[in-house]
Chains A and B, each alone.
Chain A
Amino acid sequence: MKNKRMNGYLLAGLILTGLLVALMLLGKFWTPYSPTEMNGAAKLQPPSWAHLFGTDNFGRDIFSRVMRGGGTTLTIAVLTIAIGAVLGTLIGAATGYFGGAVDDALMRLNDALTAFPSILLALLIISLVGPGKTYNVVIALGIVFIPSFARVMRTQFASQRNVNYITSARLMGAGSLRIMILHMLPNTLRTLLPALTIGFNNAVLAEASMSFLGIGVTPPDASLGYMLSEAQGMLVKAPWYAISTGAMIALLVFGVGLIGEGLQKLEREVD
């Protein structure tokens, strides 16, 4: 992993994602207008300097709403991926490193879980834990992302199990936990990082889908997906609402996708 060079994709992705994330994080503390306050005098205004993305039919400033809603989307996606990646890595590391019957059983379970499209699995879990609560969305999506991370990490750990330096570390008396964390985990990063970018994007899209369907985030919280379903209702009167919200989701996913593309390009050049 030496001699890392920046490439165009990575740079463009980092800049775009950085700007959007900064805007969304800022939205958690400050927005130009209140994202929820209704203003009867400024209903359905098209984009202008006063209201960059226009206003909706309650007179709410859409730019402010996008900033705040983006923050919610971002939080959910990050938490989801954190759950999926951490638990997935733990399971993958344990089964890949030790192998055996537990490995077999968990992988069978994994196979069965792949029979569900991810959104269907998320819907199934959410219908079990109860729809309409933000933390339930995080739990449902987090569980959905565990199997894919577990599978990727299991392959990574299993492939290192019998490599020479691992065997010699073991012979020198290093404990399993020490070997896994110090010796094996760093080598999995080149696979884990692109997987994280793909997972993040899937999480954003999945959250948006669920909230759009009305079984994800519900008022008073608002995520980009929920806002898009709101915007669909006023499509005729305020098309800018749907466009700015949808574009925000697309740009976020696009930015992170570019980072992933850049990371993969780096790997190819290193090899």
Chain B
Amino acid sequence: MLEIKDLHVQFNSRDHEAVSGVTLTIHDGEILGLVGESGSGKSVTAMSIAGLLPRKQCKLSGDVLLDGQDLLHAQRSELRRLHGRKIGVVFQEPMSSMDPLMRVGTQIGETLRIHQPDMPKEERHRLVYEAMRDVELPNPEETYRKYPHELSGGQQQRAMIAAAIVSRPSLLLLDEPTTALDVTIQAQILELLKKLNRETGISMLFISHNLNVVRKLCKRVAVMQKGKLVETGTTEDVFFRPQHPYTQKLIESIPTRHGKEVR
């Protein structure tokens, strides 16, 4: 459903390409993990798929096709029609990613208001509550009226996910969605994402620097280093039979209680 072909991203302020020649496919209903250290270009890849890079400040080349539609060279207005409706994005810091002055429910329903302005209010509320139940936010009626700072970190991220899926997009981009959370909350969010994928068949691109997290969630993994894709394969293959020396080093560096368990 999403095809990335030979993607290059070059920021005007830098000498090196942030992403150089990434080719990647996400199949229908798949959760693909994208791992790498910070600065490896994984977030930039996601942002260029989402069309969130400042176009004036960088050069983009290659193809990004969502169900055959070109995202990289699309008009701004065309991209806006896809944002939220076909692609949902969840960011790393839920607290700062939410508008602090807008009620949680209003934020969750925002994509509906933008893309279906004629939808009656009651219908919109119904869909918002449905999305809130999907992400297992407690007391939807009460939470709807709350402000972001009144939620816990985990609830904030659940609300962000609800906002991303409320319009039922076909692709969800998750940029380090669990990094800012406690380990226990992290596990809950991962379970939630798995459940959403299972029940709704939504495709996901899950970006993380944490291999353990990726291993729990994804069937297929891609590894990036310095803007290049160094290895792609099933999670099993990559973790147990890493081909590239960089991947091997990454896996060795995973802290575990029993050093040998990973291998």
State yes or no: do A and B touch (Cβ within 8 Å): no
